[in-house]
Amino acid sequence: MKKQVKKEIKKHGKKELFFAEEKNKRFDFKTAKKYGEKILTHNLGIQKKEKVLIICDETTSLIGKAFQNAGKNLAKKSELIQMHSLPFNGMEPKEEIAKEMLKYNVIIMPVKSSLTHTKARAAACKNGARIASMPRLNYEMIERDLPADYNKIRALTTKVVKALTEADLAEIKTETGTDIIIPLQGMNAGGTNCGFYLKPGSFGNIPQGEAYIVPEEGKTTGKFVVDVSMGSIGKVNTPIEITVKKGFAVKIDGGEEAEKLKKMIKPLGINARNIAEFAIGTNDRAKIIGVVLEDEKVLGTAHLAIGNSTSMKGGTIYSEIHLDGVFNKPTIWFDGELFMEKGKILI
């Protein structure tokens, strides 16, 4: 392993940073290791001859170490890289880490800022890696979400994926002001893996439970109001109002969180404003906690994302950012037919 990569690997994280997250206060190493073993065997199908890489940062250091320990008895090699946390979702890791990712069969990524929508992740998958992305994972989420019945969640997700794929047009409204039209003709939804990444090149979140689709590029129009949480920002106290014209966010209004969002995407160009994804949560065990990884999976929520769409089927617009904006209890129509009413799916 190269010297640059070795500098990123540490035996112990800064515990004060890890425990600064309230939801890590009750952290138990043995329990975290047990669920790490479940992820590796049940969700990722690890084989004894394979190599496992865990990528964490200072905010998830002890979880990363527990997952690495889980891999020691299950794989030929179980390695840990602790990187410095990145400022926003979709930002590329250091080149040395991206190259290291090409050497492993299975990769788990509990980090502060999501690496899902990065070229590094895409290259590792192209090389055959199976990847579980777990941005902003905390211990309470491990206890609550990892025991979920993902076969049950997958059954509902599959129905929603089918409805999304068959729809030519989605319309969304919420009581907080969302009123947006999303053309979907010819686009194919995803999400049926639903936490099971058993084939070479497969990837996704754990916890899981969402059906997602890339809108027709350059066509989404209206306004959506983020009232739950926003990627790389977290809990939204003052709703963020995002006005969209011809597939791009043209105006962002609100309070402190809206200002953070504008500042974050300003230097990244027009592609950071692309409407990259529309998704519906399908996980009945997940709870709204102010962390997008879980909030966007909650049954009764939906979200739209801005930025990079190239990591999903049909997406062609690249940006070094992908931010999900979650809103609660939407009413959704597909081709004029009511599909969800105030967060309740009607199928």
CATH at residue 50: 3.40.1830
Q: How is 137-200 classified by DSSP, letter by letter?
A: --HHHHHHHTTS-HHHHHHHHHHHHHHHHH-SEEEEE-TTS-EEEEE-TT---B-TTTT---ST
Q: Which of 145, 174, 194 is the last residue of a domain?
A: 145
pTM: 0.92
Q: Tell me, yes or no, whether 64 and 92 share the same domain.
A: yes
Q: Which of 145, 178, 194 is the last residue of a domain?
A: 145
Q: Tell me, yes or no, whether 156 and 289 share the same domain.
A: yes
**Could you report the per-residue pLDDT of 243-288, keeping only the tens digit for each?**
999 999 999 999 999 999 999 999 999 999 999 999 999 999 999 9
Q: Tell me, yes or no, whether 136 and 154 share the same domain.
A: no
Q: Which of 107, 126, 145 is the last residue of a domain?
A: 145
In the chain, how many domains are there?
A: 2
Task: Say whether pLDDT at 334 is over 90.
Answer: yes
Q: Tell me, yes or no, whether 213 and 313 share the same domain.
A: yes
* pLDDT (mean) for 166-181: 98
Q: Tell me, yes or no, whether 210 and 298 share the same domain.
A: yes
Token pair 């409407």: residue: 275
- Give the per-residue pLDDT at 6: 44
Range of the domain at 278: 150-345
* pLDDT (mean) for 302-314: 97
- Give the per-residue pLDDT at 1: 41
Q: Tell me, yes or no, whether 158 and 38 share the same domain.
A: no
- Give the per-residue pLDDT at 14: 54
Q: Tell me, yes or no, whether 97 and 162 share the same domain.
A: no
Q: Tell me, yes or no, whether 10 and 122 share the same domain.
A: yes
Arithmetic mean of pLDDT over the chain: 95
Q: How is 75-100 classified by DSSP, letter by letter?
A: SSEEEEEEEPPPSSTTPPPPHHHHHH
Quote the DSSP letter at residue 40.
I
Q: Tell me, yes or no, whether 174 and 129 share the same domain.
A: no
- Residue among 73, 26, 85, 21 nearest 46 (CA): 73
- Give the per-residue pLDDT at 16: 72
Q: Which one has a higher pLDDT value, 16 or 22?
A: 22
* pLDDT (mean) for 119-144: 97
Q: Tell me, yes or no, whether 36 and 168 share the same domain.
A: no
Q: Tell me, yes or no, whether 118 and 160 share the same domain.
A: no
Q: Tell me, yes or no, whether 96 and 196 share the same domain.
A: no
